[in-house]
Amino acid sequence: MASRDGIALLRRAARKAGRRQRAAAIFSQIALLLPLPLGYAVLVLTAVKALRLDAASQRFWWLLGVVPLLVLLVGVGRALFTRRPSWQGSIALDQFHGFHDRVTSALSFSQVPPAERTPLMEAAIEDGAALAGKLDPRRAVPIPLPRELVVAAGLLLGLGALSLFEVRHYRPLPPPPSFEPMVMSADDIELFRDVAKELQAKNDDPNALVAVHRFNQLVEDIAEHRLDRHEVFQRMGELERDLKDNLELDRDARDEGLKGLARELEKSGLSKPAADALDEKRLADAEKALRELAEKLRKKDGRPSAAELEKLRQALEKASRSNEERAKSIDQRRRELEEEKKSLLKKKGEKGDAGATPDLDKKLAENERKLERLDREKNRAERSQKQMSELDKQLAQAARDLMRDAGQSAQDLEQGARDINRMAKQEATEEQKQELLKKLQEMRELMRQQGKGGKDQMQRLQKFGQRARGQSGGGQGKPGEGQGEGQQGGKKDGPLRMGSGPGSVSIDVPVPQSVSGQGQGQPGDKPGGSDPGAGANYGTGHDPNVAGNATDLKGKTTDVTAAGADTGQGAASSQVIYGAAERGFVGRGYKQVFTDYQTVAERALSQDEIPSGYRFYVRRYFQLIRPRD
């Protein structure tokens, strides 16, 4: 019994020793193989820091580190799972305690069936069991620190130090983004300021005035160099888009309002002419038709019958309410759709994600689309209501007054006619907006072209602007040299050179790049004069006859009076142009000639005689040679 307990103790001690041996083997394997992945990591980290590997290369090399890591894992796995002899632990115990295999032998013989055991085996078992208390597996199988661990620890420290070490690389930083303002020549700034002033003067519509103000602000910002090229184009784009949107919305709203009126007014024979005119957007005819109706109501003879008047009253009343009714109807429809949307959303919420069927989603999307469309219609209806409010009021008043006092009603209708007239004027406002749009497009094209020309073209423009105002500037030719090259012979950036008659002054007219020296110049037709600048210094000496000769009173004189005939014709156009070349584009005469020429040019432009690709250049040419104040 005692020997059985002893054998159990022996077995336990042997197992423990075996486990410690396995642990020591694993530890040894780790210490032996750990330097592999650590060394690899040190190498890769060094390469990453020193060679500045890109992200893809880094990923590749780090992934390749799986190989040494696998080697380590395989080594550890082998130490962990390799099958060892069962007596290995007990042999270690025997060897450590110097028991001459008494423990191992006892364990070995204890596995022999008792019947087969010899007396010496039994004695050996008892002998071994007696040693159970003396065994110390911990001391018998120590787990020492492997020597190779020093290498691994060194590499680990190196890795840590390396990760903290920062290799400085000097990388040139990109220069900070510089602000390059959009530059426009002073001459063009003035041109667009004038355009803004002109549009402001022509307009009294608040919307149009806001647009003009924005345009003016844009020009001023460019003049003050507050915007770069990108911002300028962005602002122009926004302005253009707003203008177009406003134009379309106003036009649609007015058309719808007028159609609504026309629909109701045509129900009465009296107001039908006005209705037809409104339907066809002939506002002047509509005004006239309403005035005629007012006149008819005022007349005592041939007044319309009571039935006709009643019909007219009803037509006027309905017409006055048509816009309001339309807005209300849209509101009603919108409310219904909102209700439907709420109901659909509620249904979807109740069913949860699982219940969200494609059919339900489709209905919701359809509902959203309808609501958006109605919002647009409502916007139009409100605009229409606003535009037509005065006319509606007058028509309503006319309807009320019609049965009581026809005269008063006639006055109301006349007032309505005036409102139509006002609406017609609004169309004129639209033309101003269109013009502003056109100017914006020109400005954009101009800036686009200037962007290609670079600084040289800007300098030429500045010089040209000064000369155009009659200020002296560089590049003045010497009098008498003559001038007049006809063509610029294919020189791409060559300025047009205006021939100037006597050949004393030349003005370079900068043109956009795409025109390759096609300006038609007039060749100088006279030889150059003497150089007036040659005698710039004070003379020396003096005239001996300072007082001049004495008066000879002996001569006979006859007094003749001559008076010039004023034909009112003034100088010829060519003379004015020659003069402009000398003095700049100033003066009344030049303005007159320019206007004549520009009128011809505009006519040619409007009649599509100029190819569309060249229209900008024609307009630009006339902008450049426009009269300056």
Residues that bind another protein (CB under 8 A): 84-85, 87-88, 91-92, 94-95, 100-102, 104-105, 108-109, 118-124, 126-127
Strand partners, 498: 507
Do the Cβ atoms of 103 and 135 come closer than 8 Å? yes
Angle in degrees, CA 505, 510, 513, rounded to 5: 150
Residue 290 CA: distances (Å) to CA of 110, 152, 261, 417, 588: 132, 106, 13, 6, 46
Q: Decide whether 109 or 616 has the Cβ nearer to another protein.
A: 109
> Hey, what amino acid is at 468?
A
> Hey, what amino acid is at 497?
R
Angle in degrees, CA 579, 583, 588, rounded to 5: 70
> Hey, what amino acid is at 121?
M
Beta carbon of residue 28, minimum distance to another protein (angstroms, whole number): 12
Residue 447 CA: distances (Å) to CA of 380, 441, 443, 451: 35, 10, 6, 6
Beta carbon of residue 84, minimum distance to another protein (angstroms, whole number): 7
Q: Decide whether 49 or 117 has the Cβ nearer to another protein.
A: 117
Beta carbon of residue 123, minimum distance to another protein (angstroms, whole number): 4
Q: Decide whether 126 or 292 has the Cβ nearer to another protein.
A: 126
Q: Decide whether 24 or 327 has the Cβ nearer to another protein.
A: 24
Give the DSSP per-residue string, 256-277: HHHHHHHHHHTTSTTTHHHHHH
Q: Decide whether 105 or 387 has the Cβ nearer to another protein.
A: 105
Residue 412 CA: distances (Å) to CA of 319, 400, 424: 14, 10, 18
**Residue found by looking up tokens 């043109």 in the block:** 511
Strand partners, 181: 228
Beta carbon of residue 73, minimum distance to another protein (angstroms, whole number): 21
Beta carbon of residue 161, minimum distance to another protein (angstroms, whole number): 38
Q: Please say whether the dihedral angle defined by the alpha carbons of residues 511, 515, 516 and 519, taken in this order, is positive or negative.
A: negative
Beta carbon of residue 104, minimum distance to another protein (angstroms, whole number): 6
DSSP H/E element including 346: helix 306-355
Q: Provide the residue count of the chain.
A: 629
Residue 275 in tokens: 């209705």
Q: Decide whether 58 or 95 has the Cβ nearer to another protein.
A: 95
* Total Cβ atoms within 10 A of residue 190: 18
Q: Decide whether 94 or 188 has the Cβ nearer to another protein.
A: 94
Taking the C-alpha atoms of residue 476 and residue 304, their distance in angstroms, rounded to an integer, is 80
Provide the angle, in degrees to the nearest 10, between the axes of the packed helices 588-606 and 612-624. 170
To the nearest 10°, report the CA torsion of 566, 567, 570, 575: -120
Q: Please say whether the dihedral angle defined by the alpha carbons of residues 102, 103, 104 and 107, taken in this order, is positive or negative.
A: positive
Q: Decide whether 113 or 490 has the Cβ nearer to another protein.
A: 113
Beta carbon of residue 86, minimum distance to another protein (angstroms, whole number): 9
Beta carbon of residue 94, minimum distance to another protein (angstroms, whole number): 8
Taking the C-alpha atoms of residue 44 and residue 62, their distance in angstroms, rounded to an integer, is 7
Beta carbon of residue 120, minimum distance to another protein (angstroms, whole number): 5
Q: Decide whether 25 or 149 has the Cβ nearer to another protein.
A: 25
Beta carbon of residue 145, minimum distance to another protein (angstroms, whole number): 21
Beta carbon of residue 130, minimum distance to another protein (angstroms, whole number): 12
Dmax (CA) of the chain = 190
Q: Decide whether 88 or 379 has the Cβ nearer to another protein.
A: 88
Q: Decide whether 101 or 445 has the Cβ nearer to another protein.
A: 101
